[in-house]
Amino acid sequence: MKAIKNIKEAFEGNNIITKVMTGLNGKVRIDAKTRFHQADMDNFFSEWCTEKYADKLSKDRNGCKVRQLNCTQH
């Protein structure tokens, strides 16, 4: 069972965005982990989404676009 179920949940709550990787065709991969370990669960999350959607979620939480986060890799 996963502790983080989707991209929106990765940006909300007590989760840490560990890596944002840019891909082709306007896609980004979001890697996140839970701030507090939950027993018997997968505490790591990785999924691709559109950059537009990731920007919207990032602006709501951090006030900046997803490419401006310190964990962005090209």
DSSP state of 26: T
Asked if residues 44 and 25 have their Cβ atoms less than 8 Å apart, the reply is no
Q: For residue range 37-73, what is the model confidence (pLDDT) as tens digits?
A: 889 989 999 999 999 999 999 999 889 898 888 777 7
User: SS3 helix, strand, coil % of the chain, rounded to 5?
Assistant: 25, 35, 35
pLDDT value of position 38: 87
- pLDDT at residue 18 above 70? yes
> Which uninterrupted H or E stretch holds 35?
none
> Cα 55–3–39 angle (5° rounding)?
145
> What average pLDDT does the chain have?
90
